[in-house]
């Protein structure tokens, strides 16, 4: 599979929403971007708060832009805050350096895009993203323990 399409994106989203129900999470917003950072799908559960779609997009955008999860970007921010602050300036404020933005890869390891989720704690957001991606038969980068 060479790219993410709408059908696969909706499958990821539906699986992520199923996981959110299983975890009894707060209402989520799920953004899926292609490898070029363009929005394929943006869905929000009933009751998701007003800023959640923008946060979900920014988590996914940062992952695609930097080639690593938003969790990894957050770790970079801890070690090199000035650098990540400068990156966020270059990105016009579109980096959210907390968990919830996950790269989507095919079986060969090629980046197809990213999923960004916002609504609950960042760890729950990330867990739902990973579940959605894997349930759709795609790969994620290993998440550090």
Which pTM value belongs to this model? Answer: 0.94
Asked if residue 103 has pLDDT above 60, the reply is yes
Q: Where are the domains of the chain?
A: 6-135
pLDDT digits (tens, 9 = 90+) for 46-96: 999 999 999 999 999 999 999 999 999 999 999 999 999 999 999 998 899
Q: What are phi and psi of 92, to 5 degrees?
A: 55, 40
pLDDT digits (tens, 9 = 90+) for 18-38: 999 999 999 999 999 999 999
CB distance 52 to 119 below 8 Å: yes
* Band of pLDDT at residue 142, cut at 50, 70 and 90: confident
Candidates 77, 71, 84, 78; CA nearest to 140 is 71
What CATH code would you report for 6-135?
A: 3.30.450.150
């Amino acid at each position: 599979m060479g790219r993410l399409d709408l059908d696969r994106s909706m499958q990821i989203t539906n699986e992520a929403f199923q996981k959110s129900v299983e975890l009894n999470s707060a209402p989520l917003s799920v953004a899926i971007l292609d490898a070029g950072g363009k929005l394929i799908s943006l869905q929000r559960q009933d009751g998701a708060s007003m800023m959640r779609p923008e946060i979900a997009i920014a988590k996914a955008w940062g992952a695609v832009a930097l080639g690593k999860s938003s969790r990894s970007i957050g770790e970079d921010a801890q070690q090199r805050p000035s650098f990540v602050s400068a990156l966020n300036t270059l990105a016009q404020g579109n980096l959210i350096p907390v968990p919830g933005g996950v790269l989507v890869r095919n079986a060969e390891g090629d980046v197809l895009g990213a999923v960004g989720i916002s609504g609950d704690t960042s760890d729950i957001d990330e867990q739902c993203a990973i579940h959605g991606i894997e349930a759709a038969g795609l790969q994620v980068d290993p998440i550090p323990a």
